[in-house]
Amino acid sequence: MILKTISLSKFFDGLKALNEVSIGVEEGSITLVIGPNGSGKTTLINTICGFYKADEGRVLFEDKEITNRPPHEISKLGITRTFQIPQPLKKMTVLENLLIAENYGTSVLESLRNGWMKKEEDFVEKAFKILEFLNLDHLWDSPAQNLSGGQLKLLELGRAMMRDSKLLIADEPIAGVNPILANEILDRFVKLKSKMTFLIVEHRLDIVLKYVDYIYVMANGRVIAEGKEEVVEDPRVVEVYLGAED
Ligand SMILES: Nc1ncnc2c1ncn2[C@@H]1O[C@H](COP(=O)(O)OP(=O)(O)OP(=O)(O)O)[C@@H](O)[C@H]1O
Ligand SMILES: [Mg+2]
């Protein structure tokens, strides 16, 4: 397991947004977390990545304790987190958004000392290879704000690739994306599995299920079921979704 949470809990006043959540993410897998609105999925991501402090429990990445480490330290270990709404630097071009991702977490001085300037050409070459892989190469010179929602999600994946991230934690990577592009995004995840592991939260089960290796189902801050694709037919899972509809 590349990532593990052990009885992870997060409380907001009286609310147990995460209640003793234990999950494992196998290296090279696409692991999916599902559950009705407000079940704690984003809170789980935020607590793993250090955006929220855990109240109880532990987070292990590559068997090392990362519980409550600050987000930039967790990021440096090779974990990239993406958001429900992509957050590119809008005025910068697609290419620039990749180049600054590579240099993420390093101060300008430090990067000069490391000869970053000399390596700039290599980074540009790497960025273009990534853009080709993502079918974004024709847009390299466009400001990020001109991209569609789906293209922005691809750009976020590109930023993670630029950094050679080991684990991508993506909150709703295909939300609001048309089905063709959504399938394209998930297909890219599959192609990257030999290099990257994916922990994703997603509501669009009709599209996402065929791409994932393992599923955790959350309700009211707890994991109520886990397993392969069939888990969505588990009566406990059907019940929490039906209960959420009224
Ligand atoms: N910063 C916060 N302060 C207080 N309560 C919060 C905070 N963040 C989340 N919560 C609460 O924790 C619970 C879980 O929220 P969370 O955002 O994790 O749900 P989710 O499963 O991601 O839902 P969705 O599918 O709608 O994105 C909700 O009741 C939410 O109101
Ligand atoms: Mg959420």
Q: Which residues pair with 16 in a beta bridge?
A: 11
Q: For residue 49, with 0-12 CB atoms within 10 Å meaning exposed, 13-18 middle and 19 or more buried, which class applies?
A: buried
Picking from 186, 187, 188, 210, the residue whose alpha carbon sits closest to that of residue 200 is 186
Report whether residue 40 contacts ligand 1, using a CB cutoff of 6 Å.
Answer: yes
**Which residue owns the Cα nearest ligand 1 atom 5?**
12
Can you tell me the distance from the alpha carbon of 7 to that of 242, in angstroms, rounded to the nearest whole number? 27
Q: What is the dihedral of CA 223, 168, 153, 211, to 10 degrees?
A: -60
The domains of the chain, with CATH numbers, are 3-245 (3.40.50.300)
The predicted structure's pLDDT at residue 243: 76
pTM of the model: 0.92
Q: Are 210 and 32 in contact (CB under 8 A)?
A: no
Report whether residue 38 contacts ligand 1, using a CB cutoff of 6 Å.
Answer: yes
Can you tell me the distance from the alpha carbon of 223 to that of 57, in angstroms, rounded to the nearest whole number? 14
The rounded Å distance from CA 171 to ligand 1 centre is: 13
Candidate from 33, 42, 172, 200 with most ligand 1 atoms within 8 A of CB, to mutate: 42
SS3 content of the chain, % helix, strand, coil (to 5): 40, 25, 35
| Averages of pLDDT over each 10 residues, the chain, 246 residues | 98 96 98 96 97 97 97 93 78 89 59 62 88 96 93 93 95 93 96 97 95 97 96 93 71
Report whether residue 13 contacts ligand 1, using a CB cutoff of 6 Å.
Answer: no
End-to-end CA distance of the chain: 37
Number of the ligand 1 atom closest to the C-alpha atom of 36? 25
The predicted structure's pLDDT at residue 46: 96
**Which residue owns the Cα nearest ligand 1 atom 24?**
37
Characterize 140-161 residue by residue with b for buried, 16 or more Cβ atoms within 10 angstroms of its Cβ, and e for exposed: beebbeebeebbbbbbbbbbbb
